[in-house]
Amino acid sequence: MDEDWALLLSFFPAGWRGMATDSGALKGLRKDKSPENLLRTLLIHLGCGHSLRETVVRAKEAGIADLSDVALLKRLRKSKNWLYAMCVALFQERGVAVSSSESFQVRAFDATTVKEPGKTGSLWQIHYSVSLPSLSCDYFKLTETEGVGTGESFSQFAIQDGDYVLADRGYSTANGIHHATERQSFITVRVNLVL
């Protein structure tokens, strides 16, 4: 695990530890003020998709962090600007200018299912769009998970003339592609071979 972490560290932008301090991500940490341990814990949750509870158990077992799931959620919220700054720095290191210019609007579309807490929690579908390379969420919609008009489709989104849209194969449907191209947008979508 440590060997893999060292490799992963080599991909982080220069000065990423300082970004943690500058952004306030470490502010209020009582026990371990290590940006490395905080980032490792956040990546267990974000990168592996584990719940907050499972993340804190794994982090404690690995000796990385000892905190509650509620504390991790608060820390995740405080780390928003840090994670954003790291992403922007990675873009800049690779020569990609981060701009809010509307002249070239690239958007990545996706959807995910979320469940309300509890045994009888309802399921919901979140449809969202992220502008690239600014990484800002520019569209968000909540629908039911079953029924007409609830699945992954370009028709879930407000698409503007000239948008460049990236999407996964769930969006590779004739109706959805027609909806996007009808609005004079350009799309890149993985082909869905299972129709």
Query: pLDDT for 97-153, tens place per residue?
Result: 665 555 667 899 998 888 777 777 788 889 999 888 777 888 999 888 888 878 888
Q: Please indicate whether residue 133 or residue 36 has the higher confidence score (pLDDT).
A: 36
Predicted confidence band of residue 162 (pLDDT cuts 50, 70, 90): confident
Query: pLDDT for 38-63, tens place per residue?
Result: 999 999 988 887 888 999 999 999 99
- State mean pLDDT over 18-28: 90
What is the maximal distance between C-alpha atoms in the chain?
A: 55
- State mean pLDDT over 29-33: 73
Q: What's the predicted TM-score (pTM) here?
A: 0.63
Residue 82, pLDDT score = 92
Strand pairing class (106-115; 164-167): parallel
Closest CA to 69 of 59, 82, 81, 80: 59
Mean pLDDT, rounded, of the chain? 85
List Cβ<8 Å contacts ≥24 apart for 72-77.
72/41, 72/45, 75/25, 75/29, 75/38, 75/41, 75/42, 76/42, 76/45
Residue 109, pLDDT score = 92
